[in-house]
Structure 1
């Protein structure tokens, strides 16, 4: 039985001599085993090997453990208090499941029972690689350097795997629970697994220059909602992003350049923390109505075939009279009535969550009038890369109206402004 973690051995007798423990945790390998392999020998020992002392320090376990402190075992921390010598063995930065198994083995060794069923280890010097400082960062920049026989270090916080011609995400990467930055740029990846959302510490996801054709809806509902801050999907084959993309509300930097995007998510304005947005060289003809709510520092929409905004060109999706479903949906939104999959069908939840909002402030779900008006992009961003070669910074933005009355009032206002 072995465990790799940080260890600090605290001598409880030092304060009686007026001394303080000045140690600090060191990376170590802990082993539980017999001092010799004699069948008659049932005494088990704990061996702690560090980089400075690879031969290790040995401690008897049978009837020698005074107490286990396991309040923070779910965080990979625990303390084993020995009777003789009077030391506390403080464990930290351990894999939770491995730590629990190790503590269970130590309890059995202390009792001296059922030791034959324990997976014991040889009490020998540790290998240098086992006690070296945990690796936090790894870059693999060629296919010949890609690890095939060995796994990625469990302690990694930053991982870059580029130019390796990967066609899919290696599942061994998705168990690295400490991962904060994952860079898979310049590969041939076509699809993202939903299990990326299990990386609850992930703040940066770089997927530049792959062959992605979609962004999974499941990722938008994962723990990435509260962790992901930087997302680079540039130079892929994306045509649309899911409606739930705007649930990634902690995004600060979003790069979508050089795709085939026909539109941006309708409620992109819900990304209240977004400060850098780049969607140059796509197929955008108009921006969604929610775009007005953004508050950016830098915006790049160069190279998109934006249409000329004309409020007279409109699409009418109104029915007279309005359907009962439309009237009910509007009432639920306007009156802020709680709703969810436990109350209404899932499809209706989507319609309610991603409804349009009229200029008058009322909601419209499936019945509305849609048009586009020009907007100076400096209204939503401090710095704007020119939209076209003519030096323009204006782009068409969608508008929706819940009734003919609202649309006519808007048109009257446009006419009056033109007359002035």
Structure 2
């Protein structure tokens, strides 16, 4: 039974002599195993602590020698074992939570004198220098021959880059790296992302540039990435669309979607209130969603998209007279901001309300409206704009919805007057 973590052995007699402990752990390997006691010529179970300065290790008897376990923060990889003799506290930190629990269970059994066959014992021998090195936080692999096949990734990694390794899927061993903040899997052959990427609760940067991705799942959008993900690079893939739930990733600051096959951007893209850098060049975008107006960007690049030339007279009418009762009721719920949910109304009505459109007049329409495209200068939403086309333009078409004929007519009259002027 072994455990790698930071350890500080605190002598409880220090305050008596007016001294303080360092308050800082040292990287160590802890082992639990049998050792022959020379004085009694009996084998007892000991805990051995090996550090870089003491690779031979210091041994502490366990049977009937543990006064107390402090495990309030064991889920954070921290615990303390208080020994009777010598009077020391063994403070453990930066340990894998599951490994720490198993180690403490073994120490408890050894203290109670339980049958040692119930848990694995280690040989109490000096450790290798690399076993007590400071935990590795960054690893870069850019060649298939360097990819680890027989060994695990260091559990302490905060940044991991695995590029040019021809990976067709995400290695599940990466998804156990709970401290990971940046994951770079660019320049591989990955076709699908596992939903368990969302279990990386510290992940703020995910780079998937130049892969074979065809979808970004709803499960990822609804995972803990909602609270952590700030930088997402999906450029040079095969994406045709993004789910409506994509806009739940509200911590996004930098989003790269270049060189895909996107025919539209997410309907609620305006909800990404922290987004400052957006790049979606060389896609198949013909028009931008109406919520695009709500963005507040520092840099925007939409070059190389086949945007249509907006014409206010070119419209799609999806209206009936009179409006169906369901549409009237749904509009009332949205306009009056009445709380709703699947516990109150059918789930399909909730989904309809989630994609409600806002008319020029400020009121909401759901499934019945008039739709057209209007021209918008992209400087209205971004400080810096990369030219939309080779002609030097910075205008792009944005969808506009109207809840009634009168609102549409008023818009046409205003547009006509501007044209005359």
Give the structure-1-normalised TM-score: 0.96
> 1:106-148 CA distances to partner (integer Å, 9 max, x unpaired)?
1121122333322211111122222111111111101111111
Contact 2:137–2:159 (Cα < 8 Å) also in 1: yes
Give yes or no for contact 1:203–1:227 (8 Å, CA) kept in 2.
yes
Partner of 1:389: 390
Superposed CA deviations along residues 79-109 of structure 1, whole A, max 9, x for unmatched, are 1111111111111111111111111211121
- Cα-Cα RMSD: 1.6
Which stretch of the first structure deviates more once superposed, 286-295 or 141-150? 141-150
Alignment of 1:16-415 (within 5 A): 16-22=16-22, 24-36=24-36, 41=42, 43-415=44-416
Q: CA deviation at 1:277?
A: 0.4
Contact 1:11 1:86 in 2 (8 A): yes
Q: Distance in 1 between matches of 2:345 and 2:169?
A: 37
Q: 1:247-270 CA distances to partner (integer Å, 9 max, x unpaired)?
A: 110000000111111111111110
SS of the equivalent of 1:418 reads helix
How far, CA to CA, are the matches of 2:192 and 2:218 in structure 1?
A: 12
Of stretches 218-227 and 128-137 in structure 1, the one that deviates more from structure 2 is 128-137
* CA displacement at 1:37 relative to structure 2: 10
Query: Structure 1 stretch 40-49 or stretch 92-101: which is displaced more?
Result: 40-49
Residue 70 of structure 1: how far off its partner (Å): 1.1
- Determine the C-alpha separation between the residues in 1 that align with 2:355 and 2:4: 48
Contact 2:36/2:43 (CA < 8 Å) preserved in 1? no
Separation in structure 2 between the aligned mates of residue 402 and residue 364 of structure 1, nearest angstrom:
5
* Structure 1 unpaired stretches of 5+: none
User: Quick check: 1:376–1:395 contact (8 Å CA) kept in 2?
Assistant: yes
Distance 1:230 1:275 in 2: 10
Structure 2 CA distance for aligned equivalents of residues 212 and 348 of structure 1: 31
C-alpha displacement of 1:368: 0.9
TM-score using structure 2 length: 0.96
Number of aligned pairs? 419
Helix, strand or coil at the partner of 2:278: strand
Q: In 2, distance between residues paired with 1:317 and 1:189?
A: 41
Distance 1:280 1:181 in 2: 24
Residue 74 of structure 1 and its aligned partner are, at CA, apart by 1.2
Counterpart-to-counterpart distance in 1, 2:106 and 2:339: 50
Does residue 12 of structure 2 align to residue 12 of structure 1? yes
Please say if residues 35 and 43 of structure 2, whose CA atoms lie closer than 8 Å, have aligned partners that are also in contact. no
Within 1, Cα distance between the matches of 2:68 and 2:37? Answer: 28
Stretches of structure 2 lacking an aligned partner (at least 5 in a row): none
